[in-house]
Homo-oligomer: A and B are copies of this chain.
Amino acid sequence: MRYAIIGTGAIGGYYGARLAEAGHEVHFLFHSEYDAVVKNGLQVNSVNGDIHLSNVNAYNDVAKMPKCDAVIVAMKTTSERLLTEMLPHVCADGAVVSLFQNGLGYEEQVYEAIKDKVKNVTMTGGMAFICSSRTAPGVISHYDFGSVTLSPLNTPEADTEKVKLIVEQLKASNVPAKYDGNLKERRWNKLLWNIPYNGMCVILNTSTDKLMQDPSSRALIRDVMVEVTEGAAACGVPMAENAVDAMMKYTDSMTPYAPSMKLDFDNRREMEIQGIYTNPIIAARECGCHMKKVEMMEQQLRFIQAQYLGK
């Protein structure tokens, strides 16, 4: 298996470095950090053990990359149109493309865009559960967690055995990895956390722990979670009865944390509103469920973003 990392940031860089450390051939696509990595290599400071890669297969242009069998996509979904142009350059026939991204509906969308250009592609969701950040060009700090779940999109050409092989190779690379057959369930499960916390930290300009401490915002977070479970159920993904309470309890136990959308907001970057809010709202609505508070978050987020991005 030849690996490609498309978008070597805090997440793609971490998993790619783990695979390279274990001896796999990994090709990394960089953007602004390319020069620094060519010069200094890729450094991962990790709670699970540091990694330094001195000779990185680094690229700043996808057209220069070799065809790979396992393509891990860790770009923001705000560049998804760009992504569909890039993938045919780097995907071998029968490649497994794994979206280590947030939000609903991208596996379907990217699959539709590339299925005629990449023969026998297997589209896979990669639900990464990790706290890491870029601390300098070519330097990634990994603070906590680090597991990933791969779940293939159910298409005629999907090769689940190949996905399972990647899971095994990740596990052998010091990454707690899992295979899961129900992509929709895994995506909604991730939304159960992402929808309430990502947006509310932006709208109220705060952090997860403050949201959990105040009784009003705590009740609001819970209401939003309940709506997400209702939306999921309408879409055929019933959640466990205690899913909301378990997620609240889990967040209570977390180290205070700035979700990715809050970081995007703080740095005046485009936020992943489409995948985390708009797509789930549309999906639920099409199944007869109107998630009103989630919709209100989306409307507020789009207003907030328009004020600094003008779009």
Which A residues form the contact surface with B (CB < 8 A)? 203-204, 206, 210-211, 214, 216-217, 219-220, 223, 292-293, 295-296, 298-300, 302-304, 306-307
Q: Secondary structure of the A side of the interface? A: helix
Q: What are the residues of chain B within 8 A of A306 when measuring CB–CB?
A: 214, 216
Provided the pairs A214-B306, A292-B292 are in contact, do residues A300 and B206 lie with their beta carbons within 8 angstroms? no
CA distance A210 to B296 in the complex (A): 17
Q: What are the residues of chain B within 8 A of A214 when measuring CB–CB?
A: 302-303, 306-307
* Inter-chain contact A300/B219, CB cutoff 8 Å: no
Measured CB to CB, the nearest residue on chain B to A219 is B299
Q: In the assembled complex, how far is the CB of residue A216 from the closest CB belonging to chain B, in whole angstroms?
A: 4
**19 A-B interface contacts by CB (under 8 A):** A203-B204, A204-B300, A204-B304, A206-B303, A206-B307, A210-B307, A211-B303, A216-B298, A216-B303, A217-B300, A217-B303, A219-B299, A220-B299, A223-B292, A223-B295, A292-B293, A292-B296, A293-B293, A293-B296
Q: What are the residues of chain B within 8 A of A307 when measuring CB–CB?
A: 206, 210, 214
CA distance A227 to B210 in the complex (A): 29
Measured CB to CB, the nearest residue on chain B to A302 is B216
Provided the pairs A216-B298, A298-B216 are in contact, do residues A204 and B303 lie with their beta carbons within 8 angstroms? yes
* Inter-chain contact A299/B203, CB cutoff 8 Å: no
The residue from B210, B217, B219, B296 contacting A223, defined by CB atoms under 8 A apart: B296
Q: In the assembled complex, how far is the CB of residue A82 from the closest CB belonging to chain B, in whole angstroms?
A: 24
Q: In the assembled complex, how far is the CB of residue A222 from the closest CB belonging to chain B, in whole angstroms?
A: 10
Known: A216-B300, A217-B299, A223-B299. 11 other contacts (CB 8 A): A204-B300, A204-B303, A204-B304, A211-B303, A214-B307, A217-B300, A219-B299, A220-B296, A223-B296, A292-B296, A293-B293
CA distance A8 to B210 in the complex (A): 38
Q: What are the residues of chain B within 8 A of A211 when measuring CB–CB?
A: 303
**A-B interface, 8 closest residue pairs, ranked by CB to CB distance from nearest:** A216-B302, A220-B299, A217-B303, A292-B292, A216-B299, A293-B296, A214-B303, A216-B303
